[in-house]
Structure 1
């Protein structure tokens, strides 16, 4: 495990000094600017506390403020460029507390720790972000351990329900999930993959977050195939955990059985 711990030590030195560049912040009121700036800054810090520093020096955030919204962040997306960024459609009147409790920014920031995959492997990127948003919120005290378990279990139930009507092999469905409206099955089967990986890593005295921290330093590229990514994670963990699970998951048509009791061990 010498390579992993060396990389984690370097990561702890915060060798990437991240500058957050918020676009259109001045379109908000003075109070709104303060609220949104604090929220984004705190969310980045919470994410980096769990996953380590991002492998980029600048993080552009593109604001799309709305006057009427039913939730703090009704929509968001990653903008893959050089550097990668995040586009946030926000309720300009939401409070700092409401923004903090919203999962969306933690989800989008998690995406930036993985490269861009082909569409057939989007279940990996969306699954990672869906799982990690909850880990980050749990680690930073935004949600409790009980809420962490409940949120993952609820997501798995939604994915399991959609698997009854969207039963194509996962990689095939992933490539067409927008046309088929199959996000629940694709996102949450992918999240189950990473939960299973994290459970197996725990048995070896490791965590998924530690492996991803090390991945930023040794292997993160702008684009990658799924197989290369999986092999890199196995190399870092000195295991075959990811390769074995990937072979099982990529073509599976059912939904995995992960109990609340298992989730609670994470």
Structure 2
């Protein structure tokens, strides 16, 4: 009877010794798993969870890894405490669930890291308004004319007759001195529908036959624009805040004041020249 009482006391001591670390390990494991799952959702669909959209994926991944590591450490501590308090010296079953949660968190973390590297903007993105009349170059030019007129009007009301770059936003269609719209040849660019440039308004646009062609040409076109601006950096006409506006099958370039107005008309995604 005395031995049975001692054995029961030992078991109670073992349970009490490992209870707190085991509970802590379980909580940390679940938290690590939750954070890693959140990181994967953030990497796949950045806008799916509003409050998390502003948190970098790598920060969430780092938190998940840290939580998993701490979970394993706490499990080791719990097993050590149980082993010391146990008459049998065995503690292999302590924290098994927490270990499983930590391992799952590590696996999700690797998946989130892979997705974030391959798709920096996410796989599922919210639809962007795109109302550009890409089927007609004439209508595209008319949209630019409207944007140029509105930008010039606002600029005239606030600082004379010049835009944000210090020059008047001239109307391309009314320019008779060679600075109006000029159509560039697209024969050497498969998938490109039209390339239109207006020197006086310092604007241009390109339309594509498909979204695939747009994705192929967008980066090289942006690099070429940045290179041209760099080459003419000493020219006052190249100074200012230049912007790009991208749609599914088109891209536009010009001063910020004009692109802002064009963005209001057509939608798309506005960005800077890097």
Q: TM-score range by the shorter chain?
A: under 0.3
Structure with bigger RCO (C-alpha 8 Å, 6+ apart):
1
Higher Rg: 2
